[in-house]
Structure 1
Amino acid sequence: MGKFDRAELEQGLAHYEQVVERCSASGDWSPFADLFTEDVEYIEHAYGTFRGREAVRRWIVNVTAPFPHMRFPHYWVAFDEVNDAIVLGIKNLLPDLAGDDTEYWFPNITRLVYAGNGLFSSEEDIYNPARDASRVVGEWVRAGGRMQSAPREHMKHIVTGG
């Protein structure tokens, strides 16, 4: 058994999701970084590894700039109570288009490690945005979606194919 029981992991996840939902609604992603410990390690397979809360803050504000109202609902969750971890299947869901019930999203697997007091010491995002995001964003733009800004963050690790 890890340091935290299932109920505390569930509370931590609920808090995480509330903050993410508020960031998405407001378009201000700076508070997202406050979900993490000062010494967090954030592994982002396309953009690199970020160490420390402020590095995560700079990255998340820049990477969400084109899509500040993007949402990240999960469609499955698994609790690893031995390692105080939560693993989620997440939709990287672009903003709704007026009059269009189509969801424009691509999959992401996220692993969070809970550190207590509503904070996480690690996040790892596993996905292939070079393959999935460009296709989905292209479909969204053709349907009338508009980016709020030019991209401010560029992928460091690009995997294509599949």
Structure 2
Amino acid sequence: MISTDERSTAVPKFDRAELDEMVTRWEQANKDCEATGDWHPLADYYTEDATYGWNYGPKQEFMAVGRNEIRDIAVGLEMDGLEGWSYPYQEFVVDDRSGTVIGLWKQVSDATRPDGRNYSAEGIGGSWFRYGGNFQWSWQRDFFDFGNVSALFLEMITNDALSDGMRKRIERTGAGPLPGWYKIGEAPVPLW
């Protein structure tokens, strides 16, 4: 086991300036995709063999394996219906010893509540990345408060605040198994 003193004096494995530049590029790419409503360009920020997954409650998880699945499913199909939503990053934590980056974000709809506030998921959302070099991620895992996200969508349904794209998205999820979705523990790559 490495002691705290040994960890604090460990030689960084990754160039900190390069990691900081990756975060800057990533954050700008996300803003650009939010502006156009097209998330597909984010796939270029992943290595060819990258994996991207998240847990979705006690029974399901999502996993995309490889840049093509990330493009087609994770930032493609999974983002359909979320046009007008933004995910502003609040903070990044960067570890140059492991190449790990944590980005904490909010999930905000452009639709507004009767009091004028935007619909937004409460709780903390975030992405846990592993840097793969060449300004690309080799691994990403998202986390969010499933209960708060569910409550938000129920509130939007009740208030008839869903966009047509979100309505189609909800219909699609109820139509049967979707690409990239697996029962807990059955994904081709584990979350951990």
The interval holding the TM-score normalised by the smaller chain is: 0.7 to 0.9
Runs of 4+ off more than 4 Å: 152-158
Percent identity over paired residues: 23
Determine whether 1:53 maps to 2:67: yes
Per the alignment, residue 132 of structure 2 pairs with 115
Partner of 1:133, secondary structure, is helix
Partner of 2:92, secondary structure, is strand
2:98 to 75, 83, 88: 83
Superposition RMSD on alpha carbons, in Å?
2.4
Question: Post-superposition shift, 1:54?
Answer: 0.6
Post-superposition Cα deviations, 1:52-110, rounded to whole Å, max 9, x if no partner, equal: 00111121211111112321112222111111111122112222439823451243221
Partner of 2:131, secondary structure, is strand
1:92 to 107, 112, 124: 107
Q: Using the alignment, how far apart are the partners of 1:116 and 1:49 within structure 2?
A: 22
Post-superposition Cα deviations, 1:109-155, rounded to whole Å, max 9, x if no partner, equal: 211111222211111112243x2222112334527342424114556
Q: Using the alignment, how far apart are the partners of 2:138 and 2:66 within structure 1?
A: 9
Report the structure number with the largest CA radius of gyration.
Answer: 2
TM-score by length of 1: 0.82
Q: Using the alignment, how far apart are the partners of 2:142 and 2:129 within structure 1?
A: 9
Question: Post-superposition shift, 1:48?
Answer: 1.7
The 8 Å contact of residues 79 and 86 in structure 1, kept in 2 or not, is answered as yes
Q: Using the alignment, how far apart are the partners of 2:82 and 2:109 within structure 1?
A: 7
Letter in 2 for 1:126: F
- Structure 2 unmatched runs, 5+: 1-10, 185-192
Question: Post-superposition shift, 1:25?
Answer: 1.0
Kindly tell me: are residues 156 and 91 of structure 1, through their superposed partners in 2, closer, same or farther at Cα, counting changes over 3 Å? farther
Kindly tell me: are residues 101 and 132 of structure 1, through their superposed partners in 2, closer, same or farther at Cα, counting changes over 3 Å? closer
- Structure 1 unmatched runs, 5+: none
Aligned residues: 157
Q: Using the alignment, how far apart are the partners of 2:153 and 2:63 within structure 1?
A: 24
TM-score by length of 2: 0.71
